[in-house]
Amino acid sequence: MEVLLWYLLAVNVLTFIMFNLDKWFASTGGWRISERTLFIASLAGGGVGGYLGMKFAHHKTRKTIFSVGLPVIGAVQLVLFLWISI
């Protein structure tokens, strides 16, 4: 259980950073992180971090797959984690 908690913490922090880096890269005209990579990181357990990164950086908020999908993914992941931890 502790390993799962550390994994989820790490993947959420990483996903949060990825969203913010991609926003920075987009504003400076630099290299970008693909939407697919951002979405896969969110699906891999980083749904909450992706949602928070999206809101914090105001990035991908107009894309329905992110604005609707990330809150749903994050909620499902939280419910599953709580269910597993009981």
pLDDT (tens digit per residue) in 29-86: 989 999 999 999 999 999 999 999 999 999 999 999 999 999 999 999 999 999 998 8
* Dihedral angle computed from the Cα positions of residues 70, 41, 14 and 48, in that order, rounded to the nearest 10 degrees: 20
Task: Determine the pLDDT at residue 1.
Answer: 83
Contact 52, 16 (CB under 8 A): yes
Q: How confident is the model at residue 16 (pLDDT cuts 50, 70, 90)?
A: very high
Task: Determine the pLDDT at residue 79.
Answer: 95
Q: Please state the pTM of the whole predicted model.
A: 0.92
